[in-house]
Chains A and B, each alone.
Chain A
Amino acid sequence: MSELWDVLVRHFPQFRSGFLVTLRLVAISFVVAMVAGTLVGALRAASSRWLRWIGAVYVEFFRNIPLLVLIFIAFLGLRGAGIRVGPWAAGTASLGLYTGAYVAEAIRSGVFSVGSGQVEAGLSLGLTYRGVLRRIVLPQAVRTVIPPLGNLTIAMIKNSAIVGASLLAIPDLLKEARVINNDTFQTTETFFWAAVGYLILTVSATVAVRFLERRLAVRR
């Protein structure tokens, strides 16, 4: 038991540094995912066939390529072609755009859950299609969409470990844990605390989602 605390106490600065890097990675990727996902979700629900097609291509591309492959493409591929992306740019873009594809799908289903009768009613009241989206569809869709978005955020927090394990050399929580493990050889204890670190993030996300769900409860 004392070994468990020993590892944490002796290596706390490293654990903390890794935790903060993971937090930063997740925060930036979250913003990228939400922005990209909302835009693409709107594209998918657009009236123009070409816009819908662009959205579909985005979703199919990012959903069907493994995250680690994306990271290699984003970093080595682009750099090999002469485009100077840095590790953080490649990591947050990969994680954000990848998660964004799932966000787009969640938003699309949320938008479609709003009855089309409301869209027609809005249009007949003289609103533009964009106005209908903004004032009628999206506010309702958002409430439906919060729980799946919560799940996607948790998935993204866990996927951030893949970014850390890759050749981007971002010193996140997992990477710090591996360094500590190589120094101490106390594998179980070290990764226990790494798991606790990720749990703190995922449980916080869950709590935030529940809070938002209650605040925005659908009142029919």
Chain B
Amino acid sequence: MRRIRVLLAVAAAFGLVAAACGSDQPSGQESPTSPVERPEFPAGSLAADIVERGEIVIGVKFDVPPFGFKNPQTDEVEGFDVDLGRHVADALGVEPSFVEAISDNRIPFLKDGTVDLILSTMTITTDRDAEIDFSEPYYIAHGRVLVREDSDITGIDDLAGRKVCTVTGSTYEGAVEEQAPEADTQLVDTYSECLSLIQTEAVEAVVTDDVILTGMIIQDPTLKLVGEEITVEPYGAGIKQGETELQDFVDEVIGAVKDDGRWADMFDTWIGQYTGESQDPPTMTLEEALELRPCEETC
């Protein structure tokens, strides 16, 4: 328990330092931000409404380090998705307000207006695109398999007959069925529940995005990743369908963040320092992402 708190304190310290440096003007070594021009949004559009309210409500994960999680020391939510949300809010000139959006309810929240934007480790799929609009991909994750350190499982093929945990409403409900049809899938609400299940040996593996699994390993170093990457998961921001002004604006912000070095800073802060690798901002387009996940049901 103490180790977890120490690790989270370290993460929090890094996060606070990064947050302090990231959004201010350059203080020597930080990259200059390229300001995005905020256009006059047409009256009646969601973007105009947001500007008028002075606030943008963003749905993020609260229990998925390093993309969206509540820091127990500060009781604030932080992470890669949260930072990106702050960049969007800054560009709009409004205050960000973060709400918990789990995989199951994020799209309904967007459709009914509970949130204005989703930044919730959400993979771009054609089925989802039929319900909402996506931004350009802002991160490419890959599906992996997480097991306990003493497990004999070496990859997705070893999951036959084993209990595997993933989350309702995620792309892995289908992915596990496709690639490991003999696996015994246990569906729960949130990834933290999957973590509890694997720690208490109620399941033998958790299957989801590598970054989410890395966040679990940070909390519990007795877990490990095994096997190859099983899927490609381009993350996109979710915007209510038809709100093209907001969608275009978010695309512009994402593009600016990728170009001016803020993406690299966010990556190093939240991911690079744990995995020890570096990565370039994704160049995949929305069309390419959609082609990866063609229509299955709703369209």
Instruction: Spell out A's residues near B (CB within 8 Å).
Output: 75-76, 79-80, 84, 86-87, 165, 167, 169, 171, 175, 178-179, 182-185, 187
Contact in complex: A182, B104 (CB < 8 Å): yes
Q: Indicate if the CB atoms of B168 and A182 lie closer than 8 Å.
A: yes
Q: A179-B173, A182-B169, A183-B297 are in contact. Are A171 and B187 (CB under 8 A)?
A: yes
Q: Point out the residue from B108, B187, B196 that lies within 8 Å of A76, measured CB to CB.
A: B196
B residues 174-203 near A (Cβ < 8 Å) are 186-189, 193, 196-197, 200-202
- Tell me the bound Cα distance from A178 to B173 in angstroms: 12
- Say if the beta carbon of B74 comes within 8 Å of chain A: no
Tell me if B216 counts as interface (CB < 8 A to partner A): no
CB atoms of B297 and A167 under 8 A apart: no
A84: chain B residues within 8 A (beta carbon): 201
Q: Return chain A residues, CB-CB under 8 Å to B173.
A: 179, 182
Q: Complex formed: what's the CA distance from A179 to B186 in Å?
A: 12
- The 5 closest A-B CB pairs, nearest first, are A169-B186, A79-B200, A167-B193, A182-B169, A167-B188
Q: Give 1 or 0 for each of B252-291: 1 = CB within 8 Å of chain A CB.
A: 0000000000000000000000000000000000000000
16 contacts between A and B (CB under 8 A): A76-B200, A79-B201, A84-B201, A165-B189, A167-B189, A167-B197, A169-B165, A169-B186, A171-B187, A179-B173, A182-B104, A182-B168, A182-B169, A183-B297, A185-B130, A187-B108
Once bound together, how far apart are the Cα atoms of A167 and B187, in whole Å?
8
Neighbour of A80 across the interface among B104, B187, B200, B296, CB < 8 A: B200
Spell out B's residues near A (CB within 8 Å).
104, 107-108, 127, 130-131, 165, 168-169, 173, 186-189, 193, 196-197, 200-202, 296-298
Which of B127, B189, B202 touches A87 (beta carbons < 8 Å)?
A: B202
Contact indicator B104/A178 (Cβ below 8 Å): yes
A145 to B297, CA, bound (A): 49
* A165 CA / B189 CA spacing, docked (Å): 8
Q: How far is the CA of A182 from the CA of B168 in the complex (A)?
A: 8
Contact of B107 with A185 in the complex, beta carbons under 8 Å: yes
Question: Which of A79, A80, A175 touches B168 (beta carbons < 8 Å)?
Answer: A175
**Cβ contacts under 8 Å, A179 to chain B:** 168, 173, 187
Q: Are B165 and A185 in contact (CB under 8 A)?
A: no
Q: A76-B196, A167-B196 are in contact. List 5 more A-B contacts (CB 8 A).
A: A79-B200, A79-B201, A179-B168, A183-B297, A185-B107
